[in-house]
Structures are given as structure tokens and as C-alpha cells.
Amino acid sequence: MTVQVIKSEKQYLEAMAQLDELMVMDLEPGSDEGNTLEVLSVLIEKYEGETVDLGPIDPIEAIKFRLDQEGKSNRSLIPYIGSASKVSEVLSGKRKLSLNMIRALHNHLGLSYEALMSEHRPTVELDIEWTAFPLKEMLERQLCPGYLKIGDVKEYAQECVENFFGDRFPGIQMSAHHKSSARTGRPMNKYSLAVWHELSLKLAEEITPKGEFDLGELDDAFFDELASLSIFEKGPLLAEELLSRKGIRVVHVPHFSKTYLDGAALILEKDNQAPVISLTGRHDRLDNYWYVLLHELVHVRKHLFANGDSRNAIYDDLDAAPGEDIEEEADAIALNTLVSEEASHYLRTATDAREVSALANEYNRSPAIYAGFLRNGRGNYRIFNNLIGRKEVSAMFDKL
């Protein structure tokens, strides 16, 4: 038989036919036919390796094959997969391989990522501490669907986080601290902040504003109109309705551990750089609600779209000192909108709730705002407790 290098599909089929003929023959080792069989096998394997798509490699079969090669038992996988029960579940197909398991099997058994990752989408290796994300809180808020136990979320931390962020990961949020400013008196956990930012954007995407955003419409008169809605029992709802008509989305997202946030002004890049105000309700009081809302609105008006600025977020812990000029400006405009200089002059001598309420009514503001102003100005947070609207904001929005 003539043996030649296989260069075409036709030659491949002819070689396979020759191989079939030789395989059924009782060949003597070292005979011409025996040597031909060996050469054909090598040439066919080479051609298949270069041109034939054998389909995806089954990760479990690859692991079992390597164990068989090395004469190891299933228990030898425990250091890389976890407990004996996890090993059994993985090998039986009841539990999928986590990326942590894949890395361990690659490093210690020498199995290629290609063989182990057929069921995973390609992943860019990043310098990220996956277990530093607020996994317990993400589980509690049902942000890791398909996982019921914290142990599973930790095991599959990278998968959980990547699924949560979707196509925005690792773009906006993990680089958010490079394109933002943060007012805080304590170091923020950047992983928790990234999740809060992403969750804010996800909720904002579910809202369709009732009007187009026009930065020029956010003038002093509009700020006063917004603040005057505080006199109504459902003032916050009316305020957010008004902002929606101006193309501004407002979302409510409780802060995550170690973020210390009151609110933020964000940009929703998917919707033509639309502004978003996200509020945490960390201090669940009416006076705080109005101050944070106006403060973030100042950032939208003055800072988020400033010429030459590349910010996509301004985060605020308003218990902290201002630090930056933009924070001092936001403080001043928010405060002057809520409590005019004339009103503050009369307020400073107020001693009881009736005086505060009367002045608030005169200047078209909620008594909660004036009570909060006096509590902060006097450094006494035990006064006017009956006016500040404690728990009223969460009760209002929880009913929606």
C-alpha cells in the first residue's frame, strides 16, 4: 500500500479505508503491513488534530481521564473541589465546576482551561478579590438568582458577580472610582460601592421618564418649586413625579455595608447620558430626604455635566465634611433653597414646635425641613423629634 501525507478530505477518507482494512488483518509486528498501520495511524491523527472539529471537550471526562492516567482516586480531588460530597456531585454532573475549582484543577492537575471551561463563557483574568463583594447582602437582596446558600455564593462568587453586572462588567462600575468623586469620612469598600452603583442603574433602566432632560430648565425657580412640594403629605412622591417630567430618574437603593452613602448623582450611559439620582434612605427622615434630594440635584445641575469633566458619578456621605468645592457649593445651594436667609433669621429664635410649624407654613416648606435645620444648627438631635418625619419616607415608598 502507498502511504502519503494527508492533505485533503479525499486523501483522509482513503487513508481511513486503508486503516480499516489493516485493522481486521492479523499482522505480524515489524511486517510491512504492520509498519504501514502505524504510519497511517500517525498521519490520520495529525490530520484530525489540524482540521477535524471534534466538538467541545467534556470537562468531567477530561478530569476522569487525568485521574485514570495518574492512577488517582476521586478523593484526590477534594483539595481542589471541596468535600467528598462536592467531588461526587461534580463528577456525576449534579454540580457545575466553579471558576475557583477550574483554577485549582488547572494549577494542580495540569488540565487546560480549554478542557475545563467548555460550559463557561471566556473570562478575562482581573485583579479582583471576588469574595470581597458584599455576597451575603447580594444573596439577601436576591441579586444572585439560582443560589440559596451563602456557601454556594462564595464558591461561585465570580460567576454570581459577573452575571449580576452583565455587559457593564468590568467597565463602568469597577473603574467608577477613577471617574467619580466621593464625599466620605471613612474609606468606602469599592466592591460594595460598585454593586450599589450597578443596582441603581438597573433600577433606573426600568423607569421611563415622562419628559426630556434639559439642563437649562434646572434654574432657581425650579428648585424653589420642587422644595415647595414638601408641604404636602405625599411631597416626596410629587417631587419625583416632577423630576420625571424633567427627564430625571430617582431611584431608592439602600446602601451596602461599608459604603456609608446617603445618595449619589449618576449617569446612565445607555440612555444618552441621562441623569439619575439614587437615594439610600440611610437616615430615614423627611428632613434628610429633602436635603439629600436637593443636594444631588445640585450635582446634576452644576457638576455632573460640567465642561471638561469626565465624572459618571458623585457619591455622598453627607455626615462627612465637604472636602471639595463642588460639595460646598451643593451644600450651600441645597440649604439656601430649603431654608432662605430670611427664614433662617426668624428660625434661630424658635423654641417650640408651634413656632417652627408656623414659620414653615409661612415660607411654604415642610416643618420637618425647618426642624432638621435647627437640630443640625444647634447640635442637639433630641429636639423636635415629633417634626422630622422619622420613618415616613420608607413607609411612603414601601407602599408603591
Write the CATH number of the domain with boundaries 59-116. Answer: 1.10.260
Q: Taking the C-alpha atoms of 134, 137, 142 and 146 in order, what is their torsion angle to the nearest 10 degrees?
A: 60
Q: pLDDT in tens for each of the 400 residues of the chain?
A: 567 888 887 788 788 778 777 776 777 777 877 788 788 788 887 877 777 555 566 888 888 888 887 888 888 888 888 888 888 888 888 788 887 888 888 888 887 777 777 554 444 455 788 889 999 999 999 999 988 899 989 988 988 998 899 877 654 445 544 467 888 888 899 999 999 999 999 999 999 999 999 999 999 999 999 999 999 999 999 999 999 999 999 999 999 999 999 999 999 987 778 999 999 999 999 999 999 999 999 999 999 988 666 678 999 999 999 988 999 999 999 999 999 999 999 998 999 999 999 999 999 999 999 999 999 999 999 999 999 999 999 999 874 4
Residue 176's contacts (CB-CB under 8 Å, 6 or more residues apart) are 190, 193, 194, 197, 312, 313
pLDDT at 171: 47
pLDDT at 309: 60
pLDDT at 352: 93
User: What are the CB-based long-range contacts (under 8 Å, 24+) for 341-347?
Assistant: 343/370, 344/373, 347/373, 347/374
Interatomic CA distance for residues 328 and 320, integer angstroms:
12
pLDDT at 341: 95
pLDDT at 177: 46
Domains of the chain, by residue range, sit at: 9-51, 59-116, 130-168, 176-398
pLDDT at 109: 81
pLDDT at 373: 96
